[in-house]
Amino acid sequence: MKVLLTGAAGQLGQALRQQVPAGVELIASSRAGGEGLVALDLADAQACCTAVHEHRPDWVLNGGAYTAVDKAESEPELALAVNGGAPRAFAEALLDTGGRLLQVSTDFVFNGQQGSPYRPEQSRDPLGAYGRTKAAGEEAVEAVLGGSGQGVILRTSWVMGPVGKNFALTMLRLHRERGASGQALGVVEDQVGCPTSTHTLAAACWRTITAGISEPVLHWSDAGAASWYDVAVAVGELALELGLLEHMAPVNALTTAEYPLPAQRPSYSLLDCSSSRKALELAPTPWRQALRQLLEAVA
């Protein structure tokens, strides 16, 4: 089975490349290309279409995205080209070639106001530019491939891995920088979601493909719930246990209002993954256990 992967240099892309299942021929792409990667600019819809016709993959695994949530507020056109235009181009080309699309998406397509976990079939209502562009990508996949069974949207949340840019690695760096002096970190406590490790997310993506899952929308996060504050404390505690830190910095809980950022974020964006876990036949990993495994891989 041939799979065209985008975003291969990103944190999820690197985990996907480490876990390629037997029998999969992987064509891995990144914006720049090189080092065994094909160059593919997701902002170039024609290039996305050409790549599908050239490689004729059984699946496109669209793991690449414009992921700078705050910067997207000032670059909405570029974010929309990458997050909305590329999935549309892949979907249209795959309709011709007969391949399938796994579109990775986000909890940020929801407004976070319902106070209980979001089910896969619930309506989108994004709060910021990043969420709106990812929602546009979902809508394109549904509009072009809905009914054909060729499109699968897999939403996830708070993605963190041992490489790349993510909250866990930022907190580890800040604990290291401030632990000895006792200078506190301030971290938001009134946004609740669930961290997801790139390792477990990659396994869910590959299972979707190898099992030929046909649910139009899947939800995949690690198990449990947490605030950003909880995750910052857990990173410090686990890093101490693993010998990655000598001193943990104190962590002060902040409200969202006390830590203003350009993009508004959902205050409660837990994903209900129960039906997807059954469909994928994958047991969830508690988020703290997955975070521990992530930190062990950093060590």
Ligand X SMILES: NC(=O)c1ccc[n+]([C@@H]2O[C@H](COP(=O)([O-])OP(=O)(O)OC[C@H]3O[C@@H](n4cnc5c(N)ncnc54)[C@H](OP(=O)(O)O)[C@@H]3O)[C@@H](O)[C@H]2O)c1
Residue 41 in the binding site for ligand X (CB under 6 A): yes
Least distance between ligand X and beta carbon 83 (Å): 7
User: Which residues neighbour 218 within 8 Å (Cβ) at sequence distance 6 or greater?
Assistant: 120, 152, 153, 154, 155, 204, 208, 276, 279, 280
Q: Is residue 31 a contact point for ligand X (CB under 6 A)? A: yes
Burial class (CB in 10 A: 0-12, 13-18, 19+), 115: exposed
> Which residues are tagged catalytic?
130
Radius of gyration of the chain (CA): 19
Residue 42 engages ligand X in binding (rule: CB under 6 A): yes
Size, binding site for ligand X by CB under 6 A: 25
CB of 239 to ligand X, least distance (A): 20
Distance of CA 233 to the CA centre of its chain: 22
Kindly tell me which residue out of 4, 5, 12, 109 binds ligand X, with binding defined by CB under 6 A.
12
Closest contact distance (angstroms) between CB of 86 and ligand X is 8
Residue 120 backbone phi and psi in degrees, to 5: -55, -35
Binding test (CB under 6 A) with ligand X, winner from 16, 48, 82, 226: 82
Closest CA relative to residue 13, chosen from 207, 192, 159, 146 = 159
Q: Does 157 bind ligand X (CB under 6 A)?
A: yes
Choices 142-150, 155-163, 204-212, 245-253; region in contact with ligand X by CB under 6 A: 155-163
Q: How far is the CB of 196 from ligand X (least distance, A)?
A: 7
Contact between 204 and 139 under an 8 Å Cβ cutoff? The reply is no
Among 5-13, 141-149, 237-245, 274-282, the segment contacting ligand X (CB under 6 A):
5-13
Residues, the chain, total? 299
> What DSSP designation does 122 have?
S
Residue with tokens 């605030």: 227
Compare residues 37 and 239 and give the one whose CB is closer to ligand X: 37
Report if residue 63 touches ligand X, rule: CB under 6 A: yes
In the complex, the smallest distance separating the C-beta of residue 165 from ligand X, rounded to whole angstroms, is: 6
* Number of Cβ within a 10 Å radius of residue 97: 15
What does the binding site for ligand X look like in residue numbers (CB under 6 A)?
A: 7, 9-13, 30-31, 41-43, 63-67, 82, 104, 106, 134, 156-159, 164
